């Protein structure tokens, strides 16, 4: 299967083989070695000296963990939303009793840092600003560095809580340099690992907020995670096989280096967008803010997305994802993060070149000849 979803993503063979290792006990010295290597590798890619922890959970579990550990019921928070996952972050915070103010931007556009600064300055004070770095539902990357600086201009010391689930490991996210407080990612995205782990970094300012938090937590209690990591353990039985996989994948990523990882994803994204435009298709995003992990493409007029979606799987062994929420049936999304090559993208563009005419779209003659 040519899996071109924004997550889960394909995994290298040695990462998959690592998952087949015999189990070890999560209180053993052997596991302490694994979690120690993983933690240090994550700090390298996060570009942080802050504490980093692994939770056995999906990305949504990380959103919940970031909410319950650093906020209290009634805390006023500003949620910057540009799509499905920004909205989800707001819903999680509301579920636990936070007083949420949403700053919404049109889907397919990036958040305006000046608007964030104005909202914080004029609507505050806020306990925290919650923001999604890379919105896979629309193929947009926010200028997180600028947004973080704008929020702090609006209210110095405001807590910055970041969903970097689909950016870290693929798109530049300098946790320390940008003074981010709580930042989470997920193993199934650019890390080249199956779903099962989320990873969270916490600053000193974040730990101060943790001490003040009054939201209930048990499984996601990051204080317990900190205590147990000091012993080379996790509080609860972890997804040990996914730790094995992440250990191997991080070996590849650390060896490649952050700069090279970022450049590779930029190159692959440029190739994807160029290929899409060669088919005469329109991108959803302004390329200035287009994501380097997922490209959102407008479904051409007259094409039924569900028909194309099924045809790609049945006849071409290729999976690309459709739109979500109000964009359902209006866009499709090609994932190009993690373990992906030029050949994978060339194949995907060629498959679309063959399939689209079968569902009523006339591919430009120049593209048909290529």
In the chain, where are the structural domains located?
A: 13-255, 257-369
- Classify the phi-psi angles of 215: left when phi > 0, otherwise alpha if psi is within -120 to 50, otherwise beta: beta
> What is the full DSSP assignment across 75-135?
-EEEEEESSHHHHHHHHHHHHTT-EEEEEE--TTS---HHHHHHHHHHH---SEEEEESEE
What pLDDT does 67 receive?
98
Distance CA 49, CA 53 (A): 12
What pLDDT does 366 receive?
72
What pLDDT does 365 receive?
83
β-strands 159-163, 182-186: how paired? Answer: parallel
With a cut of 90, say whether residue 329 has pLDDT above it. yes
Q: Which uninterrupted H or E stretch holds 202? A: strand 198-202
Residue 336 token pair: 């190009």
Asked which of 40-49, 94-103, 329-338, 358-367 is least confident by mean pLDDT, the reply is: 358-367
List, for residues 231-288, the tens digit of each pLDDT value. 999 999 999 999 999 999 999 999 999 999 999 999 999 999 999 999 999 999 999 9
List, for residues 32-52, the tens digit of each pLDDT value. 999 999 999 999 999 999 999
* 106 strand-pairing partners: none
Q: How confident is the model at residue 369 (pLDDT cuts 50, 70, 90)?
A: low
What pLDDT does 353 receive?
98
CATH of 257-369, one of 3.40.50.300, 3.90.1150.10, 3.40.630.10, 3.30.70.980: 3.90.1150.10
List, for residues 135-187, the tens digit of each pLDDT value. 999 999 999 999 999 999 999 999 999 999 999 999 999 999 999 999 999 99
User: Could you tell me which CATH class the domain 13-255 is placed in?
Assistant: alpha beta
List, for residues 73-105, the tens digit of each pLDDT value. 999 999 999 999 999 999 999 999 999 999 999
Whether residue 69 contacts residue 181, with contact meaning beta carbons closer than 8 Å, is answered with no
Q: Tell me the CA distances in angstroms from 143 to 28, 89, 339, one per residue in order.
A: 42, 18, 24
């Amino acid at each position: 299967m040519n899996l071109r979803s924004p997550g889960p993503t394909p995994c290298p063979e040695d990462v998959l083989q690592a998952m087949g290792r015999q189990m070890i006990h999560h209180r053993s010295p052997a596991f302490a070695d694994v979690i120690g290597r993983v933690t240090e590798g994550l700090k390298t890619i996060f570009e942080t000296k802050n504490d980093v922890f692994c939770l056995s959970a999906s990305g949504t579990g990380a959103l919940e963990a970031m909410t319950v550990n650093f906020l209290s019921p009634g805390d006023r928070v500003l949620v910057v939303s540009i799509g499905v996952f920004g909205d989800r972050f707001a819903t999680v915070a509301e579920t636990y009793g936070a007083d949420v103010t949403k700053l919404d931007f049109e889907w397919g556009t990036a958040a305006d840092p000046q608007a964030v600064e104005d909202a914080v300055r004029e609507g505050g004070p806020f306990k925290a600003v919650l923001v999604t770095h890379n919105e896979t539902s629309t193929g947009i990357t926010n200028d997180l560095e600028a947004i973080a600086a704008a929020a702090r201009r609006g209210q110095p010391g405001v807590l910055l809580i970041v969903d970097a689930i689909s950016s870290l490991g693929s798109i530049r996210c300098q946790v320390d340099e940008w003074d981010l407080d709580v930042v989470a990612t997920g193993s199934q995205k650019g890390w080249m690992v199956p779903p099962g782990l989320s990873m969270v970094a916490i600053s000193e300012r974040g730990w101060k907020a943790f001490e003040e938090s009054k939201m209930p937590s048990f499984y996601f209690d990051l204080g317990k995670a900190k205590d147990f990591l000091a012993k080379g353990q996790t509080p609860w039985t972890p997804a040990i096989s996914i730790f094995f996989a992440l250990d191997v994948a991080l070996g590849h990523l650390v060896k490649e280096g952050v700069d090279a990882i970022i450049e590779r994803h930029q190159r692959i994204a440029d190739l994807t967008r160029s290929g899409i435009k060669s088919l005469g298709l329109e991108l959803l995003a302004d390329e200035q803010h287009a994501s380097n992990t997922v490209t959102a493409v407008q479904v051409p007029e007259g094409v039924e997305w569900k028909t194309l979606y099924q045809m790609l799987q049945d006849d071409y062994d290729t999976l690309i994802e459709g739109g979500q929420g109000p964009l359902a049936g209006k866009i499709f999304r090609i994932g190009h993060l993690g373990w992906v090559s030029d050949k994978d993208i060339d194949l995907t563009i060629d498959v679309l070149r063959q399939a689209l005419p079968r569902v009523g779209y006339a591919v430009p003659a120049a593209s048909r000849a290529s």
